[in-house]
Structure formats: structure tokens, C-alpha cells
Amino acid sequence: MELGHVVVLAGGLSYEREVSLRSGRRVTEALRALDIPVELRDADATLLDSLSDDPPDAVFPVLHGAAGEDGSIRDVLELLDVRYVGARPDACRVAWDKPTAKSVVRRAGLRTPDSVALPKEVFHDLGASSVLDHIIRSLGLPLFVKPTRGGSALGASVVHEAADLSAAMVGCFAYGDAALVERYVAGTEISVSVVERDGTPTALPAVEIVAPGGIYDYTARYDAGDTEFVTPARLDADATARATAAAVTAHRALGLRDLSRTDLIVSPDGEVHFLEVNVAPGMTETSLFPRAISVAGLDLGEVCRDLILSRFP
């Protein structure tokens, strides 16, 4: 069919607003290069009236952070009976909550680092010092601390010394009300994107991430030149097969749709460890999803167009 009106939805009010706008502009340009009539819209107070007054053929959400990835905006799109690309609300809610997602993929047979999730209130009510001592006693060091919900590594940090855990928790709570503290797994950090083609989830080439100082933080993600990306990742054939299979397993187990990106660590013994999954992968010039698309010999605009068309019966 011929698409007559597509809306790319970006922006919003999360901490990741600027990254989302960059993603939205890139998807918009990629679709326009195929002569598809496309409009970039912000998720603001004018959106609902706009979608109601001039219903698009489909919406392509590239909203990052809360609302964009927790299912709420997609709930609204379903209320309006608007077709959209990506996972449905219930699946988003499961994937958005990292401890829940870890439980789901563990039941599906994937390895994921041992962890504990602590709301801010529990951390304070039970006594911060005592809680931190028990975390270290149980999980050991080093540790990785991040918000249970959120993206772009905001509020995330590696803790090598016991004395640094308290500050890491405070930094984490600046971006969310609960912290996920994981046993740190050393190894090769990779990201595997999944695209559904003809309804079948297909893994794209794994992207290896070599961040300055070994920490793939917000700056390393979005400042061009700070991080080295190797695609395909420098893994042997067996580890590559396990990593791509893990990404497809996570996509299916979490009930995702159309596209996703799974972050993994491959330890020196070749074991693959699930970290988290993203239902709205970044589409910026430094993002991993478009990089994998390119290395696979595909065109970003064509992939986005095909995902839109897949929403039509």
C-alpha cells in the first residue's frame, strides 16, 4: 500500500527528551528519503487533538524514557485506534521494569546477573548502612547500580569499593525511586538489535561497545567519537550464536513487537548474560540500532517503512 500520512513521535518530558528528538529527526529524514509523507510531532498537549482531527496512517514512536517506553503513550494510541510501530502497552510495562524483565528472561532460560531491587523508602527505612553492608556481603564487589526504570545509563555506575556504594545509590535515586544493584559481570559488552521481518524476529549483527574507562554512560552514548563500536562484535562463532539467540529469546519472552534492542555481556568463558532490553531503541547518529541496520546491509528508512507497513492487515 502507499502511505499517505505518517507521524514520528518524539520528544516528551523525560530526562531523555533531547536524545528522543534526535532519534525522531533521523527517522523522519530516513522516511522522507523514500518520499513518504511524514510529520515529526512532539508528545505535548496538542498531540491528541492533532491525531484526532487528522488521523495518520500510522505512528512511529521514538520516545525514550518514561511515557515513551512504559506503555502509557501506547495506551493512548490504542484508545485513539491509531496504528503504531513497536511493542504493545502490557509488554512495554514488563520490559520497562528491569527487575521484572530479568525475572521473565531468566524463566525463559537466559542468564542474568544476580541482583537486588531496592525502593528508596526501603533503603532509608531499614538503615542505609546496614542495607549496603548486606548487599556487599551477598553480591560481593564490584557491583553495577542503575535505576530500575529508565535508559541512556542515567544514574548508572560501577562500584569497585564498598565505600563508594552509598554515593552510587544517591546518584541512582536522583533518576528514579528504586535502584537495581547487580553483581558486575566483566567481559565484552554488546548490543543485539532485533527486527521482525514477515512476523519473524531476526537478530541483526551484534555491536561491541568499547567505552572510555569501560563505562558506557550517557556521555559515551551520545557524544560522537568518545566510544568505539565494533560491528560485528569480536566474538567467536559460538558466542555470537548464543548472543543473537539470547536477544531473540528476550524479544519473544517479553512479548515485544516489531523491534527491540537487548544489551548483553559476554564473559571471558563465552557465557552470555542478559542486562536489559529497550523497546524504543535510539536512532541517533551514534545509536546502536541504526549501526546494526547499516552493517546488515539494510537501509534505515526501508526498515522503518516495512515496520509501518507490517501494522496493516
- The sign one gets for the Cα dihedral 56, 289, 14, 223 is negative
CA distance 222 to 180: 23
Q: Considering the candidates 14, 115, 152, 287, report the single residue annotated as catalytic.
A: 152
Q: Considering the candidates 22, 26, 88, 261, report the single residue annotated as catalytic.
A: 261
Q: Considering the candidates 12, 14, 15, 16, report the single residue annotated as catalytic.
A: 16
Closest to 56 in 3D by CA, of 312, 313, 268, 229 = 312
Q: Considering the candidates 69, 282, 287, 291, report the single residue annotated as catalytic.
A: 282
Element (H, E) at 220: helix 218-222
69 is catalytic: no
Single-letter amino acid, residue 206: A
16 is catalytic: yes
Residue 298: strand, helix, or coil = coil
Per 3-state DSSP, the chain is made up of helix, strand and coil in percentages (nearest 5) of: 40, 25, 40
Other CB atoms within 10 A of residue 198 CB? 7
Single-letter amino acid, residue 91: A
305 is catalytic: no
Q: Considering the candidates 14, 20, 157, 278, report the single residue annotated as catalytic.
A: 278
CA distance 2 to 4: 6
Residue 313: strand, helix, or coil = coil
Q: Considering the candidates 97, 208, 258, 276, report the single residue annotated as catalytic.
A: 276
Closest to 286 in 3D by CA, of 191, 196, 201 = 191
278 is catalytic: yes
- Exposure string of 29-39, with b = 16+ CB inside 10 Å and e = fewer, is ebbeeeebebe
Single-letter amino acid, residue 262: T
CA distance 149 to 160: 23
User: CB of 19 within 8 A of CB of 288?
Assistant: no
Q: Considering the candidates 15, 84, 216, 222, report the single residue annotated as catalytic.
A: 222
282 is catalytic: yes
Q: Considering the candidates 263, 287, 291, 305, report the single residue annotated as catalytic.
A: 263
Question: Which residues sit opposite 47 in a β-bridge?
Answer: none
Residues 6+ apart with CB under 8 A from 82: 51, 55, 56, 58, 59
276 is catalytic: yes
**Residues labelled catalytic:** 16, 152, 222, 261, 263, 276, 278, 282
